[in-house]
A and B are shown apart, each in its own frame.
Chain A
Amino acid sequence: MEVSRIRALRGPNLWSKHTAIEAVVTCAGAEADLDQIPEFVTRLRARFPDVKPLRPFGHKEPISVAHALEAVGLGLQAAAGCPVAFGRTIVTPETGVFQIVFQYTEEPVGRLAMDLAEALCLAALNDEPFDIKLALSKLRELDEDVRLGPSTGSIVDAARARGVPIRRLTEGSLVQFGWGSKQRRIQAAETSNTSAIAEAIAQDKDLTKMLLEAAGVPVPTGFVVSDEAQAWEMANKVGLPVVVKPRDGNQGKGVAVNIETREQLAKAFAVASDISSDVIVEQYIPGHDFRMLVIGNKLIAAARRDPPNVIGDGVHSIAQLVDHVNLDPLRGDGHATALTKIRFDDIAIATLSNQGLTAQSIPEKGKRILLRNNANLSTGGSATDVTDEVHPELAARIVTAAQMVGLDIAGVDLVAETVSKPMEEQRAGIVEINAAPGLRMHLSPSFGKARPVGEAIVSTMFAEGDNARIPVVAVTGTNGKTTTVRLTAHLLRTSGKRVGMTNSDGVYIEQRCIDTGDCSGPRSARNVLMHPDVDAAVLETARGGILREGLAFDQCDVAIVTNIGIGDHLGMNFINTTDGIALVKRVIVQNVAPHGSAVLNASDPMVVGMGDVCSGSVILFSRDKQLPVLNTHKAQGKRVVFVDGESIVCSEAGQEHRIALKAIPLTRNGTITFQTENAMASIAAAWALGLDWSIIEMGLATFVNDAQTAPGRFNVFDYRGATVIADYGHNPDAILALIQAIETIPANKRMVVISGAGDRRDEDIIQQTEILGESFDQAILYQDQCQRGREDGEVLALLQLGLKNASRTKEIVEIRGEFTAIDTALAKLQPGHLCLILVDQVQEALDHLAKRIAEA
Chain B
Amino acid sequence: MSQPYLTIRRLVHLKGPNIWTYRPILEAWIDVGELARLPPQAIKDTYARLTAALPTLLTPGGGIEASKGFAKQFENGVWAPAVVEHVTLVLQQLAGMPGGFGETRATDTPDLYKVVVRAWHETVTLQALESAIALISSAVKGSVPPVEPIINTLHTLRIKHCLGPSTACIVDAADDRDIPAIRLSAGNLLQLGYGINQRRIWTAETDNTGAIAETISRDKDLTKSLLQACGVPVPQGQAVNNAAQAWEVAQEIGLPVVIKPSDGNHGRGVFTNLSTHAEILAAYPLAEQEGSGVLVERFIVGFEHRLLVVGGKLIAAARGQHACITGDGKQSIRKLIASQLNADPQRGREEDLPLNYIKLDSAVELEIARQGFSWESIPALEQTVVIQRNGNVAIDCTEAVHPDIAETVCTAARIVGLDIAGIDLVVQDISKPLIAQQGAIVEVNAGPGLLMHLKPAIGQARQVGRNIVDYTFPAGDMARVPVVGITGTYGKSMVGKLLYHLLGLHGWNTGLSSTDGLFVQKRKLHTGNSANHENARRVLLNREVQAVVLENGAKQILSEGLTYERCEVGIITNIDWAQDLSEYKIYSPLERSGVYRTQMDVILPSGMAILLADDPQLLALSQYCDGQTTLFSKSASTPALIEHIAAGQRGVFMDHGQLIMAQGARRYNLCNVSAIACTEQAQNHQQICNVLAAAAAAWALGVSMELIEAGLLGFDPDTALPS
Contacts and interface: CB of A to CB of B under 8 A. Distances in A.
A533 B411 contact: yes
Contact of B215 (A187, A204, A211, A533): A187
Given A532-B415, A533-B411, A512 B212 contact: no
Interface stretch (B225-233, B252-260, B693-701): B225-233
A513 B233 CA distance: 12
Interface in B200-248: 200-202, 205-216, 222, 226, 229-232
Interface string A214-236: 11100000000000000000000
Given A196-B205, A216-B525, A527 B229 contact: yes
Interface in A170-204: 170, 174, 185-187, 190-201, 204
Interface string B575-605: 0000000000000000000000000000000
Contact of A514 (B208, B209, B230): B230
A406 B207 contact: yes
A196 B446 contact: yes
Contacts of B208: 195
B207 A192 contact: no
A190 B211 contact: yes
For the complex of A and B, list the 8 residue pairs with the smallest distance between their C-beta atoms, beginning with the closest. A514-B231, A216-B525, A214-B538, A214-B541, A194-B211, A196-B214, A527-B229, A196-B211
B541 A211 contact: yes
A509 B230 contact: yes
A531 interface: yes
A18 to B, nearest CB: 24
Given A214-B537, A216-B523, A533-B411, A192 B210 contact: yes
Contacts of A435: 211
A207 interface: yes
Given A194-B210, A207-B184, A530-B226, A215 B544 contact: yes
A63 interface: no
Contacts of A400: 544
B229 A526 contact: yes
Interface of A: 169-170, 174, 185-187, 190-201, 204, 207, 210-211, 213-216, 400, 403-404, 406, 435-436, 507, 509, 512-515, 526-527, 530-533
Contact of A191 (B212, B231, B538): B212
Contact of B209 (A195, A404, A512, A530): A195
15 contacts: A169-B222, A193-B210, A194-B211, A195-B209, A196-B214, A197-B200, A207-B185, A215-B542, A216-B520, A216-B523, A400-B544, A404-B541, A509-B230, A530-B230, A531-B415
Contact of A197 (B189, B229, B232): B189
B402 interface: no
Contact of B542 (A199, A204, A214, A512): A214
B417 interface: yes
What size tier do the contact residues of chain B reach? 35 or more
Nearest to B185: A207
Q: Which of A198, A211, A526 has the most CB of B within 10 A?
A: A211
Contacts of A200: 189, 202
Given A174-B222, A196-B446, A533-B414, 14 more contacts: A190-B212, A193-B210, A194-B211, A197-B209, A199-B211, A200-B189, A211-B541, A214-B537, A215-B520, A216-B520, A216-B523, A515-B231, A531-B229, A533-B411
Nearest to A405: B543
B229 A215 contact: no
A197 B207 contact: yes
B136 to A, nearest CB: 35
Interface of A is mostly: mixed
Contacts, number: 117
Contacts of B525: 215-216
Given A174-B216, A196-B210, A199-B211, A403 B544 contact: yes
A200 B187 CA distance: 12
A101 B200 CA distance: 54
Interface string B186-208: 00010000000000111001111
B153 to A, nearest CB: 21
Contacts of B210: 185, 192-196
A433 B211 CA distance: 16
A199 B202 CA distance: 12
A155 to B, nearest CB: 13
Interface in B522-570: 523, 525-526, 537-538, 541-544
A201 B541 contact: no
Given A187-B215, A207-B184, A216-B525, A169 B541 contact: no
Contacts of B231: 507, 509, 512-515, 527, 531
Nearest to B232: A514
Contacts of A509: 230-231
Nearest to A514: B231
Nearest to A506: B231
A216 to B, nearest CB: 3
B227 to A, nearest CB: 10
Given A174-B216, A533-B411, A196 B230 contact: no
A507 B185 CA distance: 48
Nearest to A407: B211
B514 to A, nearest CB: 15
B205 A192 contact: no
Contacts of B523: 216
Nearest to B233: A514
Contact of B202 (A170, A197, A436): A197
Nearest to A207: B185
A199 B446 CA distance: 14
Contacts of A198: 207, 211
B25 to A, nearest CB: 24
A403 B185 CA distance: 18
A215 B538 contact: yes
Nearest to B408: A512
